[in-house]
Structure 1
Amino acid sequence: MIHNLSSQTSIASQYLVQLRDETIQLDPVLFRRNLYRFGQIMAYEISKKLRYESIQTVTPLGVAECMTLNDDIVLSTILRAGLPMHDGMLSVFDRAENAFVSAYRSNHKDGTFEISLEYITSPELDNKVLIICDPMLATGASMVKSIKALMEYGTPREIHIVAIIASSAGLEYVNLAFPEANIWIGHEDEELTARSYIVPGLGDAGDLAYGKKTYDGEE
């Protein structure tokens, strides 16, 4: 199921403007901060779909019936662009376990590319809730390959996929690969270029957050 935050205006709309704007986005501190904020917002929205149990909590004045989270959460991200979003979600799910995937495009001179995975670390995932984030969902190939690699560590009870901007083609690809997953996006952009970049998108989220790469993986 796809959940699109842009279907209703909220403060996330303002953060998205600042992430997209070609002048405002040049401030890397603010750019990372807005990725972090999106992570917090997405975590809150996801929290509404999780399991809770009733407990009694002793207060200074009595006993209160409360609801507490009853799911084991594993937060994951694709390095490096997803790190600020991951930190934002971790500030909400502060008892979560964590997984990390290093995935990148290995570009070829003919304009094609393949997804390379160099590093992955994860706790056991059986019967847990896996939440994986990446700011941009272009073709969806990195996301699908990363999730399949993570599932070598077990079968999650639920999968939540989080992106700020997703292409229509990327959404379709990921949804076909994981039809039972919940996909959370800030906005859907329809166009994907021949080199698989989202238009209008926002540019290279990793470069904007952490500085330009000197190696693009082309061969």
Structure 2
Amino acid sequence: MLTGHPTVLGLGPATPDFVAGLHGKPYDSPRDTCLAYLQEVRRLLGPEDDDGAVRLPALSHPGVETGLGVLRPALARAAGQVADAAISWMTPHGYIQDTLLPAMAKGAAEAGRPVPRVVTVVHAAVNRPHRNPYRLAYTAAHAHLAGLHYSDMLRRAGLRVHHSRPNLGARALVDAGVFLHGTPQEIATGLAEYGRVGVDEVVVNVAGVYSDHGREDAVRDLRDILTACREAEN
């Protein structure tokens, strides 16, 4: 209502440690928990009917899509069953094509509904003087690289990573092109690969540049990358 624009409400199961800190123990099944939670959210946002379900007050707004964070096949299949959008983070485009999209399609077929939109977050940094791409990748992604679920996903995608060595994981991200680094035109080419395999929306993440070099440099990178993307489309 405040923005006047449609909103994607992205939800996910968090990490077992975080969940245990809130509930005393991890979820018995993160997948089942996500399915149940998204179904409740969809009911809250749904139209009025006579089934007695609780609803949010009737409010005029541009629309809300439910999104589920996905890294591995189980949650991708769950997204196909209940979500409007599947949101992935740091997932190589080949892995999306070969692993996540088939799992989503299977879940959607089981539920008799359309396959959700696919949104993926991609780390990027323009190659400029006095920048080290491995350092930028580590700054941006070391917390995720230290997570068991992220390292497992990347190993499934063929990268040599381990949660105990996020520094080596950062090198693997750059060397494999998961962290895009180069000229704006080279980055635009890398981003286009995601669209080629079926990704509907790409979120360009310049967190490494922002953290190491500041806001102005991060905005400059975004402007140059998005300009290159527009030029490549024309």
Would the TM-score normalized by the shorter structure come out above 0.5? Answer: no
Higher RCO structure (Cα 8 Å, ≥6 apart): 1
TM-score normalised per structure 2? 0.28
* TM-score (normalised: structure 1): 0.30
Q: Which has the higher strand share?
A: 1
Normalized per residue, the structure richer in helix is 2
Rg (Cα) greater in structure: 2
